[in-house]
């Protein structure tokens, strides 16, 4: 059988560093992470793109900088909640597109230490998560709507401002590139182990505006710098050059993501609602069960799931997120065995039945059957007769009895022959759905 490590190791165009499969082993084991989008947009509380959507100048937007004071900030609470939810890593926006920095960067004044709050927000956060055994990653925006040398593009808040555009030719792009490379150097030098670097993003040329990509970011040189500072850091794929992790956003793929026909290391990132930053009035929140289904679906396709929270301007997580994370924790306490260290079922196994997802633990040779819809008593697994040694409900380790092969099923009303194929395995389920949000049956496969 093929393990996820073998498959994930096949990655096209990998930059040289410790072997990819080796560097990414913890990542595929982890499977579930917390994304944190936090910045000045938390005050506006209406999407992290508000500066661009509302065409706001840096001066005008600066009012949030002058009032940023997250007095209830307690990252230890976030870290405990994430860890209890079964999250094994986090990725936080050190800087988002607005340009505001959570850390005490020497290269800008636009940082947390210069707000009324007056302290570095990043360092205590990374320390708190590491103290809980959660690995730490950083998101760094390639876009910057505050830096004076950052030129116009189709995403820039000032894109339709003629006076601003008139000065574009005088902007010194290489100053910005130095800034971006320099800030990354700071983060990779002074903030401990950075397990993931999530860079966001390359911009297509549109509406007469030039794009920004590999050339503009000086991506090859950038990746070399990252590798030389922290050779184990996993880099995402938005720099315009091949990265370590492919990162579809708000999208559940049909199958294991492939590049040039080869399965790659991938991670789906998702919000609870429609925004990454705190959005007070947004109501399209996914239910806990829906999020769990997405997590399971992702792992069943060999991917990781990065679930976002947008803390508010008092420094607290949205109550709606807290409630859901706690509920996820309730499920994960009993079912993390079907997530951590698991991957897609081996291709040579028969297909998964309808409304279900398989995940597979290659080390213990166990298959996990997640039931998205609870059937009536019998669940038929075509092709599985003879493959399973023992089956149990993961929730309480209660045996799930199996009927295999051509045998007649025995009912109270007598025996009948429904023409079962010889390769059929039927699981005898309780009529009543167990309490778990998503019930899981653990199938111990024969060696």
- Of residues 277 through 336, those in contact with ligand GLC by CB under 6 A are none
Of the pair 266, 360, the CB lying nearest ligand GLC is at 266
Residue closer to ligand GLC, measured from CB, 201 or 222? 201
Neighbours of 67 (CB within 10 A): 13
Phi, psi dihedral angles at 172 (to 5 degrees): -95, 90
Short-list 196, 199, 233, CA closest to 219: 199
Residue number, nearest CB to ligand GLC: 276
Smallest distance from the beta carbon of 101 to ligand GLC, in angstroms? 15
Q: Which one of 191, 201, 222, 360 is in contact with ligand GLC (CB under 6 A)?
A: 201
> How near is the Cβ of 429 to ligand GLC at its closest, in Å?
39
Nearest C-alpha neighbor of 195 from the set 224, 236, 234, 139: 234
One of 144, 153, 195, 200 touching ligand GLC (CB under 6 A): 200
Q: Which of 85, 269, 425, 440 touches ligand GLC by CB under 6 A?
A: 269
The H-assigned helical ranges of 260-377 are: 288-300, 319-335
Contact between 145 and ligand GLC (CB under 6 A)? no
Shorter beta-carbon distance to ligand GLC: residue 317 or 441: 317
Query: Which of 32, 65, 276, 358 is close enough to bind ligand GLC by CB under 6 A?
Result: 276
| CB nearer ligand GLC, residue 201 or residue 360 | 201
Nearer to ligand GLC, 241 or 403 (CB): 241
- 53: CB partners within 8 A, 6+ apart: 47
Give me the residues paired with residue 401 across strands.
428
Q: For ligand GLC, which is the closer residue by CB, 98 or 132?
A: 98
Contact letters (x/-) for ligand GLC, 152-181, by CB under 6 A? ------------------------------
Q: How far apart are CA 381 and CA 371, in angstroms?
A: 13
Number of residues that bind ligand GLC (CB under 6 A): 8
Rounded CA separation 397/301 (Å): 25
Cβ proximity to ligand GLC, 95 vs 366, nearer residue: 95
Binding mask 9-38 for ligand GLC (x = CB under 6 A): ----------------------------x-
DSSP state of 236: B
Q: Tokens in use for 77?
A: 């609470």
Q: Looking at 366-430, which runs of residues are DSSP E strands? A: 366-371, 378-382, 388-393, 398-399, 401-404, 409-411, 414-416, 424-428
Q: Alpha-carbon distance 382 to 353, whole Å? A: 8
Instruction: Give min distance, CB of 172 to ligand GLC, in A.
Output: 25
What 3-state class would DSSP assign to 92? strand
Supply angle C-alpha 404, 377, 409, rounded to 5: 40
For residues 406 and 417, is the Cβ–Cβ distance under 8 A? no
**Closest separation between CB of residue 365 and ligand GLC, Å?**
35
Distance between CA atoms of 241 and 217, rounded to whole angstroms? 10
Nearer to ligand GLC, 125 or 436 (CB): 125
Q: How far is the CB of 145 from ligand GLC (least distance, A)?
A: 11
User: Closer CB to ligand GLC, residue 309 or residue 388?
Assistant: 309
Q: Tell me how far, at minimum, the Cβ of 162 lies from ligand GLC, in Å.
A: 25
Residue 249 found at the interface with ligand GLC (CB under 6 A): yes
Q: In this complex, which beta carbon is closest to ligand GLC, that of residue 276 or of residue 331?
A: 276
- Find how far residue 72's CA is from the centre of its chain: 26
Distances (CA, A) of 271 to 82, 265, 290, 381: 15, 20, 12, 34
| Shorter beta-carbon distance to ligand GLC: residue 140 or 384 | 140
Q: Which helix (H) or strand (E) holds 196?
A: strand 196-200
Q: Closest distance between ligand GLC and the C-beta of residue 285, in Å?
A: 17
> How many other C-beta atoms lie within 10 A of the C-beta of residue 412?
4
Give the other-Cβ count within 10 Å of 97's Cβ.
24
**Using CB under 6 A, which of 48, 244, 318, 361 touches ligand GLC?**
48
Q: Which of 426, 390, 399 is nearest to 410 (CA)?
A: 426
Position 252 contacts ligand GLC (CB under 6 A): no
Residues that bind ligand GLC (CB under 6 A): 37, 48-49, 200-201, 249, 269, 276
């Amino acid at each position: 059988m093929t393990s996820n490590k073998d498959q994930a190791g096949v990655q096209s165009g990998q930059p040289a560093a410790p072997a990819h499969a080796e560097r990414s082993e913890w990542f595929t084991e982890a499977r579930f992470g917390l994304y944190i989008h936090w910045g000045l947009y938390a005050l506006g509380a209406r999407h992290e793109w508000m500066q661009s959507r509302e065409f706001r100048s840096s001066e005008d937007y600066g009012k949030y900088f002058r009032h940023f004071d997250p007095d209830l900030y307690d990252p230890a609470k976030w870290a405990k909640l994430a860890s209890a939810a079964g999250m094994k890593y986090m990725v936080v926006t050190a800087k988002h597109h607005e340009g505001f920095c959570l850390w005490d960067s020497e290269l800008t004044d636009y940082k947390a230490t210069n707000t009324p709050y007056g302290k570095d927000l990043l360092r205590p956060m990374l320390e708190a998560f590491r103290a809980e055994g959660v690995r730490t990653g950083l998101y760094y925006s390639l876009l910057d709507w505050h830096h004076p040398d950052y030129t116009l593009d189709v995403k820039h808040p000032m894109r339709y401002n003629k006076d601003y555009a008139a000065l574009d030719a005088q902007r010194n792009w290489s100053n910005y590139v130095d800034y971006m490379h320099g800030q990354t150097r700071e983060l990779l030098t002074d903030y401990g182990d950075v397990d993931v670097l999530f860079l966001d993003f390359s911009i297509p040329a549109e509406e007469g505006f030039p794009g920004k990509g590999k050339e503009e970011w000086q991506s090859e040189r950038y990746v070399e710098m990252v590798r030389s500072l922290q050779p184990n850091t996993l880099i995402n794929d938005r720099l315009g050059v091949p990265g370590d992790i492919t990162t579809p956003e708000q999208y559940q793929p049909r199958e294991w993501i492939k590049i040039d026909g080869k399965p790659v290391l991938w991670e789906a990132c998702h919000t609870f609602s429609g925004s990454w930053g705190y959005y007070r009035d947004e109501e399209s929140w996914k239910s806990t069960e829906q999020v769990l289904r997405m997590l399971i679906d992702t792992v069943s396709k060999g991917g990781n799931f990065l679930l976002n929270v947008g803390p508010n301007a008092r420094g607290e997580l949205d109550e709606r997120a807290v409630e859901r994370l706690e509920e996820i924790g309730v499920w994960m306490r009993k079912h993390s065995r079907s997530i951590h260290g698991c991957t897609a079922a081996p291709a040579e196994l028969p297909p998964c039945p309808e409304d279900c997802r398989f995940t597979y633990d290659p080390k213990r040779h166990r298959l996990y059957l997640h039931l998205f819809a609870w059937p009536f008593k019998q669940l038929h697994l075509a092709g599985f007769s003879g493959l399973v040694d023992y089956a149990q409900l993961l929730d309480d380790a209660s045996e799930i009895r199996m009927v295999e092969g051509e045998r007649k099923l025995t009912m109270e009303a007598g025996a009948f022959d429904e023409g079962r194929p010889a390769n059929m395995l039927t699981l005898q389920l309780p009529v009543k759905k167990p309490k778990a949000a998503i019930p899981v049956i653990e199938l111990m496969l024969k060696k």
